[in-house]
Amino acid sequence: MADEHVDVSVLGTLRDVMEGEYPSLLDVFIKDSETRVRALNQLIRAPGFSVESAAQLQPLGMMAHSFKGSSSNMGATRLTELCRLLEELARNQSAADGAVVNQLVQAITDEFSVVRDLFDVELQACTLR
């Protein structure tokens, strides 16, 4: 598993603690994250979305915050960092830039794709244990 994307020691700890429920934890994270990524993309692509609107940036920041927490709990280090950056950008409306927001959401989408693939491999390995 690629250390730049996932902290394997976190997964090892989760595997030890969760035992037989570990595959379910991975599956729930993957499904929940797919929903989060879809929601982030829908929000920034919604008609009328503007980074100048605090009312529109607030839900973006809240989504990023929540996704940051679950990613951190699962050891998805790069995904956690990207979500942290989006959360901070959304919180600091005066520094928000539409192009940067779009780039960060795309980076989160791309990174989740990598993490999902790594976790799918981990799920397959669980069936062999």
Decide if 34 is inside a domain.
yes
Residue ranges of the chain with per-residue pLDDT less than 50: 1
pLDDT at residue 53 in the model: 82
| Sign, CA torsion 19/109/95/90 | negative
Decide if 3 is inside a domain.
no
Does residue 126 contact residue 22 with C-beta atoms inside 8 Å? Answer: yes
Smallest Cα–Cα separation from 114: which of 65, 70, 77? 77
Amino acid at 57: L
Smallest Cα–Cα separation from 5: which of 90, 108, 92? 108
Domain of residue 29, CATH code: 1.20.120.160
Decide if 45 is inside a domain.
yes
Decide if 114 is inside a domain.
yes
Residue 92, domain extent: 8-128
Decide if 82 is inside a domain.
yes
Decide if 1 is inside a domain.
no
Count structural domains, the chain.
1
| DSSP result, 60-115 | HHHHHHHHHHHHHHTT-HHHHHHHHHHHHHHH-GGG--HHHHHHHHHHHHHHHHHH
Q: For 87-108, how does the pLDDT look when each residue is reduced to its tens digit (9 = 90+)?
A: 999 988 766 788 899 999 999 9
